[in-house]
Every structure is written in C-alpha cells, then in structure tokens.
Amino acid sequence: MRGPQPPQALAQTLWSVTPPLAELFVDMQRSGDARLADLLAGLKPARALAALVLAEIERGNAEGVHIAYEAMMLFESPQAGQVYASMSPRRCAPRTPVPGCVRRRARAAVEGAG
C-alpha cells in the first residue's frame, strides 16, 4: 500500500511507522478495495471495526482501541461513515484521546451536506 522508501532520514522514519489498523481499514474502505470487500463478505464496516476494537483491547493498545472505536461509532450511520472515510485518516485520528472530537467533526460535515 506504500510507495518506495524515501531517501531522506526523517521521511524514512515516518515511512517505516505502521499506521493504526483502523486507519488502514478506513483507507481501504474509502478506496473501495476489492480485497477488503471479499474479506468482509457482506459484513458491515461497523461490525468489522467492532472486532478490531476487541482485538486492540486484547493487545493492550489503548490508542488503537480509541481510534477503532471512533471509526466504529461513525460507521454505525452510513452517511457519517462515508464522511469519515472521505476524510484524511491523519486528520480524524487524534494521537491523544479527545472524547467525541472526531464524531463532532463528522456529524457537522454530515449536517452541513444535508
């Protein structure tokens, strides 16, 4: 999913960091990736993200739980899920937990579109 490794040291460091699984999921959902559609086989994105929340809890990854939970809650509403998927994953996934911040942004975007 990534391009070639960049030559600059800082860019290499950023390139080598694996993004949270929820961000990868949302990116694949946004792009309409056929592999994800085959894997889900009719399962709604919110249900798949719920499984991801549980997996992150088992791994003890609090940040991953927060990001996956926020995405899961937004995908409960099809309109909000579309808005969330169309947003840049880096913009909508805060690195420090801010309860409801992503949800408010997506709701405002959905209400503004309607």
Nearest CA among 39, 34, 22 for reference residue 74: 22
One-letter identity of residue 84: Y
Distances (CA, A) of 42 to 7, 48, 77, 89: 41, 10, 16, 23
Q: Are 94 and 101 in contact, with CB atoms under 8 Å apart? A: yes
- Domain locations in the chain as residue ranges: 19-113
**Euclidean distance between CA atoms 110 and 75, whole angstroms:** 12
Q: Are 70 and 105 in contact, with CB atoms under 8 Å apart? A: no
Torsion angle (degrees, nearest 10) of CA 6, 9, 10, 15: 40
Residue pLDDT, tens place only, 80-106: 767 766 765 554 444 444 444 445 555
The model's pTM: 0.57
pLDDT for 27:
84
Residue pLDDT, tens place only, 26-41: 888 888 888 888 888 8
